[in-house]
Amino acid sequence: MTRQGLVNIWFFASLIVGPGLILLRARAAGVGVLGSLAGAFLGGLQAGYIDLLPGYMATGATAGLLTCGLAGLLWPSRASRSTLMILAVGVAAMGITSALVIHHLHLTTWTVGMQLLVALDAVFVAFLCLVQPVRVVTSPPRDSATIAR
């Protein structure tokens, strides 16, 4: 697999996973994943040579994930804690598996540091799922006349 093929897989996976997490109400994680796309684009613009592009994109994606993910924590979720826990475990498992696949492919342009960024990004997305504030929906208070009936 070429480095361009890997970038394409990551791009389309992020386009699916980011909105998917938002729809499943893991909003901070979804916003963070979408922010990683913007960060990777901005990081890629900083690369002076094509050989530097993967490193700059990986660093930019991490910066976008951290920035947008932390900002996404301001958007409370109505998901249950158990749903967010399941999403966190699933995201962490997929991300760490992706990092191991990248390591196994022996891509010469992906340094060990970049491979660690992939794993740490996945763990951070899982962390965002775990610390996502949950908005508790309560029923309106009953008055004593309603209870007496």
d(Cα 146, Cα 149) in Å, to the nearest integer?
Answer: 6
Give the side-chain half-sphere CA count within 13 A for 104.
6
What is the domain range of residue 11?
A: 3-135
pTM: 0.80
Is residue 146 one of the residues assigned to a domain?
Answer: no
Enter the tokens of residue 29: 């994680």
Give the helix, strand, coil percentages of the chain, each rounded to 5.
75, 0, 25
Helix and strand element counts for the chain (H, E)? 6, 0
Distance of CA 76 to the CA centre of its chain: 16
Number of domains in the chain: 1
Enter the tokens of residue 147: 């209870």
Is residue 147 one of the residues assigned to a domain?
Answer: no
Is residue 142 one of the residues assigned to a domain?
Answer: no
Give the side-chain half-sphere CA count within 13 A for 122.
19
Is residue 72 one of the residues assigned to a domain?
Answer: yes
pLDDT digit of tens for each residue in the chain (149 aa)? Answer: 666 677 778 888 889 999 999 999 899 999 999 999 999 999 989 988 887 887 888 889 999 999 999 999 998 888 888 888 999 999 889 888 887 887 787 666 677 787 788 888 889 999 999 888 776 656 666 666 656 55
Is residue 61 one of the residues assigned to a domain?
Answer: yes
Residue 77 buriedness (CB in 10 A; 0-12 / 13-18 / 19+):
buried
